[in-house]
Amino acid sequence: MRKMVQGRLSVFKFESFRKYKDIAHFITTKEGWISGNKPRFTGDQEADYSGFRKELAISCEVKVEKFMFPRQTHSDHIVEVTSGTDSTTISGTDALITNEPGLFICVQTADCVPILLFDPQKKVVAAVHAGWRGTISKIAMKTVQQMTERFGCEQTDIVAGIGPSIHMHAYEVGPEVVEAVKSNFSNSPALLKPSLNEGNAYFDLWEANQTLLMEAGIPEENIELMGLCSFEQADLFYSARRDGADTGRMVSGIRLV
């Protein structure tokens, strides 16, 4: 990983993506926003997010209409986008895929796991939002499957980056989530650490999503885990668990150049 200034914004980038000259990507932080201290990029009122989208566009030197954001609902719904897609209508969606150059496909997070995917052979990119519900429903795996089925991608060609999100030590979950993990992951003992609160456990979202990517066929060496905890690093990242659901959001975006 590397941190850098892009326009006014401080962003992180995956080290493993650096060698590819035909993509651009970023993960924003708290630093640099002038439109407010709780950036959002979708909402019922355009005024709530338009300023932040403009700032993002300026920092990336890309027109604001080239940014695509889904209205995330912790689903396993995946949408293929093109320049004809109206970003205000991508509802009930938590992953975007495109093979069209110039479009920044993005997800926003504040503890959930952002995942960026790139196939350098078929020139396809994807952005995935995976909270515990998305992780349980295996949205990361399903996105890889859609890349292979729709665009002919080979899983072994795909490179993946797992961005800043809440780490296991700060992510205690209740019995409902514990049972869902046990029912959906064969390696659940490695993903759950017992809690002092009966029936609860600490859930490793990082390892769970890495497991899904590998089970989808992506080699382990093609997966970069940024390893930054959104809850712990309050100076850099927003955290819904730490600050409440009304906090700001980080953006993870990727585009074909």
Q: How much is the mean pLDDT over the chain? A: 97
| Average pLDDT, integer, range 192-210 | 98
Q: What is the dihedral of CA 90, 8, 206, 95, to 10 degrees?
A: 10
195 contacts: CB under 8 Å, gap ≥ 6 = 172, 201, 202
The whole-model pTM stands at 0.98
Q: What is the pLDDT of residue 72?
A: 97
Rounded Cα distance between 180 and 146, Å, is 24
Rounded Cα distance between 239 and 206, Å, is 16
Domains of the chain in sequence order: 2-165+220-256 (3.60.140.10)
* pLDDT interval class at 169 (50, 70, 90): very high
| Average pLDDT, integer, range 74-86 | 96
* pLDDT interval class at 82 (50, 70, 90): very high
* pLDDT interval class at 162 (50, 70, 90): very high
Centre a 10 Å sphere on the Cβ of residue 8 and count the other Cβ atoms it contains. Answer: 12
Rounded Cα distance between 204 and 132, Å, is 10
Q: What is the pLDDT of residue 87?
A: 81
> What share of the chain in percent tops pLDDT 70?
100
Contact criterion met (CB below 8 Å) for 226 and 162: yes
| Average pLDDT, integer, range 29-51 | 96
